[in-house]
Amino acid sequence: MTTSMRWMMAAGLVVAGLLASAPPVRAQGSGDGFLFRTPRGSFVVRSGFDQPIARSDLFTQTISDFTVGKGDFRGLSIAGELSASLSPRWDLVFGAGWSGSSTASEYRNWVDSNNQPIQQTTTFQRVPLTAGARFYLFPSGDPIGHLAWVPSRFAPFVEGGVGAIWYRFRQYGDFIDLASATKDVFADDLSTDAWAPMAYAGAGVDISVTPRIFLTGEGRYTWSRAHVGPAYSGFRNLDLSGVALTVGVGFRM
């Protein structure tokens, strides 16, 4: 089973957990089970984990040289989204986020002259800025005449969009000059960063807790590749693609 499939299965389990644990929306007529108008949009804060695919040669070389695995590039993800409602089933969504990891390591096959490990740290960060569309498979709520709007118990959705993503890949600590005959150990701080275009697609569900507040769960796949800087000359474009699994809370406006 591929990494992407495992993450999408995990997303399904999280969504199922949200559905099972969310309290029911209070019924219409309770005094606060509806809004007096259809929401114009919403604001959402999400958090979870982001797993880079890590397929490009810079990742491969890092994993080969140091005690780093693909899973070590997995990191915390946080994001915020602002949406504008276009219709009962379509939203325009703008988002910004951050994900990152930091991994301490040592050379797999080398030690220094004192037989001690040669240690370094690798960090990887991504900051996406996105604009996209979200389509609800069922209306997210129902208007009752002209005076009230009742949210759906849950509203599954699919989504997609484009944007720009900034990344930084950094390694600092001690390294070996493999080109020298003496294999000298030296301290260095290597870093590359850049902006690149990106696209994404995902699916999830919103679960109403009150007419204004809802829980949300989402699985998202991002596609992007970016140039690497002079510190890593000779390496091909860096693969920034990955799978994110997040949960969060939203507020209808």
**Three-class secondary structure assignment of 161-220:** EEEEEEEEEEEEEEEECCCCCCCCEEEEEEEEEEEEEEEEEEEEEEEECCCCEEEEEEEE
Share of the chain above pLDDT 70, in %: 86
Predicted confidence at residue 216, as pLDDT, reads: 97
7-32: per-residue pLDDT in tens? 444 544 444 454 444 444 443 333 34
Please state, for a pLDDT cut of 90, what percent of the chain lies above it.
Answer: 70
> Tokens 């740290």 — which residue?
121
pLDDT band at 145, cuts 50/70/90? low
SS3 of residue 223 by DSSP? strand
Judged by average pLDDT, the poorest of 109-113, 122-126, 188-192 is 109-113
Closest by Cα among 136, 150, 112, 122 to 216: 136
Q: Give the separation between CA 251 and CA 253, rounded to whole angstroms.
A: 6
SS3 state at 65: helix
pTM: 0.83
Are 32 and 59 a contacting pair, CB within 8 Å?
A: no
Q: Which residue has the higher pLDDT, 35 or 105?
A: 105
Question: What is the pLDDT of the chain when averaged over all its residues?
Answer: 87
- Long-range contacts of 10-15, Cβ-Cβ distance < 8 Å, separation of 24 or more: 10/219, 10/245, 11/203, 11/204, 11/217, 11/218, 11/219, 11/245, 12/219, 14/217, 14/245, 14/247, 15/204, 15/205, 15/217
Which residues, other chains included, contact 65 with Cβ-Cβ below 8 Å and sequence gap of 6+? 107, 108
Q: Which of 79, 91, 95 is nearest to 41 (CA)?
A: 91
Token digits of residue 48: 């979870």
